[in-house]
Amino acid sequence: IVIYFTRNMNRQYESDMTIYTGIISANGTDLSQDGKQDWNILKNSLLNVINTIGSKETMRVVSLKLFARTMINGDPERDNVYISSAHFRQLLDITPPAVKKLIDKTSEERTVENLKRYEKVDAKNFVYGLFNWNHPYFSYGALSKIDIKQIDNSDILHVYYENNDAGITYQTLNILSEVFADEYKTLQYSNTNNVIKYFEAELARIGKDLFMKEDSLTKFNVQNRVIHYDKQTEAVTILDKDYEIRKQDALSARNRAQVSIAQLESGIDANIKSIKNNAQFLAKMNDISDLNYSISQIESYRPDSLKTAVTNSVSTLQGLKSKLRNQERDFRNFIQEYSSQKYTKNGYPNANYVTQWVDELLKLDQAQADIKVVDDFKVELDKMYSHYSPIGSLLKRQERGINFTEQSYLSVLGGLNAARLRLKSLEMSAATLKVINPATYPLNSKPTKRKMLVMGTYFATLAFLLGCILVLELLDRTLRDKQRTDRVTKGNVIGAFPHKKMGRYSEQIKKMASKSLANQLF
């Protein structure tokens, strides 16, 4: 029976290939590391490659490509390097017509795309079931038998596979050698690319926030006329100090002029004193006061970044001073002409007294003009203090926000650069994944176990028969033969008659037995 049923016994064909990973040898090329070898990391990286090759997703791609290649190149009449004719006929018998229509004989890639579009998570879907059922060539159970091992402690992996079809065995490893590197790159790159996309999005978001904050600070500075806050506040403090000094000088000049005028007026007669009520006198004094005020305003101006520059130029200032000199000269002439007495009541020359009196009046007028300008400047200075006092805290708040955002921007930028370096390192590592010994088409099958099965069944059958005889002997309780009867009965057997009828020879046998018994008795 064994010989008969093993006459067409399946033969197993084996093929292998070796893959160079370069993970250990190329460890120094990882740009994101400091160059020190960490054997745990290297071992983990190598295990990642092994697990990627044997992963279910990789095997699914291999299954689809293997089925497409087999359906395109298989021949039901003769064997080839893709599949044997007998196995191809079996495959054609189980393949639905709808799936056969998906096969594009001119392009393996288009066939794979057609199969992917046709595949659905459904127990009745042939393409889905091809990988998830128990097909001997295309299922995950069959492909998971691919053996992947590291050779000693090297960078080289040995991939071994065996199946009952030489073409399927060869094509499976051939497709795996084409697929595994792409799957490894996709797996490794996808994580890094996702990280890079995250950092790029964060960088754009934080950069936009940083630009908005910087623009807001610029707009705030423009609105509040701030160029350099520390220097400007220091300038305001200096102006305040200058204001106090100038005010004291103006008050002192006014007091001195008032005292001098009082002394001079005490020596001038009533005719000269009455000039103070003269309309022309008052008009000229007002003109001189206005000119002194204007000149004092221009001279007290300090050009800086706190306020807009005054439109009066240097020529305007010189013009005002020239006009003031003319007005003072005219005023002096007016006083001299108005004065009719030659001597004062104390006997001093009237012209000298009037001249001194006019000079003091002019000094008093200039001092009062300076005081008015200083007071006006004090109002402006108070506005500056009120303006710049709250700006400091607002500026610091905005600068802290900009500094924090800038640090976040730099941190994300550093992470983005590290991720890009990691991507380059992965590209360099993936570039070293090469098949150094490709799979070969197996010409001879592995030795079968038919001889061992036949010899084993022969000895098993012999042992079975001997065992049955021994069991029957042990279980038999009849007398059966002369030796057994002598032993059981402790007597001598001298004759025996058959228990059953022996057909037409029964009478002759009985006579022969009787004669034998008689002879023994005689």
pLDDT in tens, 87-146: 999 999 999 999 999 999 889 999 999 999 999 988 889 999 999 988 999 999 999 999
Looking at residue 306, what is its pLDDT?
A: 38
Residue 308 pLDDT class (50, 70, 90 cuts):
very low
Residue 343 pLDDT class (50, 70, 90 cuts):
very low
Q: In this model, does residue 305 exceed pLDDT 50?
A: no
Q: In this model, does residue 199 exceed pLDDT 90?
A: no
Looking at residue 458, what is its pLDDT?
A: 93
Across the range 64-75, mean pLDDT stands at: 93
Amino acid at 491: G
User: What is the distance between the alpha carbons of residues 181 and 200, in angstroms, rounded to a whole number?
Assistant: 27
Looking at residue 463, what is its pLDDT?
A: 96
pTM beyond cutoff 0.85: no
Q: In this model, does residue 79 exceed pLDDT 70?
A: yes
User: What is the distance between the alpha carbons of residues 225 and 521, in angstroms, rounded to a whole number?
Assistant: 156
pLDDT tens-place string over residues 349-389:
455 556 666 666 677 777 777 777 777 767 776 666 666 66
Looking at mean pLDDT, say which of 12-16, 230-234, 483-487 comes out highest.
12-16
Q: Which two tokens stand for residue 152?
A: 């000693």
DSSP-based three-state secondary structure for 88? helix
Across the range 242-264, mean pLDDT stands at: 70
Across the range 493-505, mean pLDDT stands at: 79
Q: Which two tokens stand for residue 24?
A: 């250990």
Using an 8 Å Cβ cutoff, are 447 and 18 in contact? Answer: no
Looking at residue 505, what is its pLDDT?
A: 82
Q: Which of 276-285, 303-312, 459-468, 475-484 shows the lowest mean pLDDT across its residues?
A: 303-312
Using an 8 Å Cβ cutoff, are 163 and 172 in contact? Answer: yes
Handedness of CA 284, 286, 291, 296 (dihedral sign): positive
Q: In this model, does residue 309 exceed pLDDT 60?
A: no
| Sheet with 156-163: strands ordered across | 147-150, 156-163, 13-20, 434-437
Using an 8 Å Cβ cutoff, are 257 and 367 in contact? Answer: yes
Residue 2 pLDDT class (50, 70, 90 cuts):
confident
Across the range 402-422, mean pLDDT stands at: 84
Using an 8 Å Cβ cutoff, are 293 and 373 in contact? Answer: yes
In whole angstroms, how far apart are CA 16 and each of 13, 41, 157, 390? Answer: 11, 28, 10, 80
Strand partners, 437: 18
Q: Which long-range contacts (CB under 8 A, 24 or more apart) does 500-506 make?
A: none
Looking at residue 110, what is its pLDDT?
A: 93
Across the range 463-489, mean pLDDT stands at: 87
Residue 272 pLDDT class (50, 70, 90 cuts):
low
The mean pLDDT of the chain is: 77
Per the model's pLDDT, the better-predicted residue between 52 and 433 turns out to be: 52
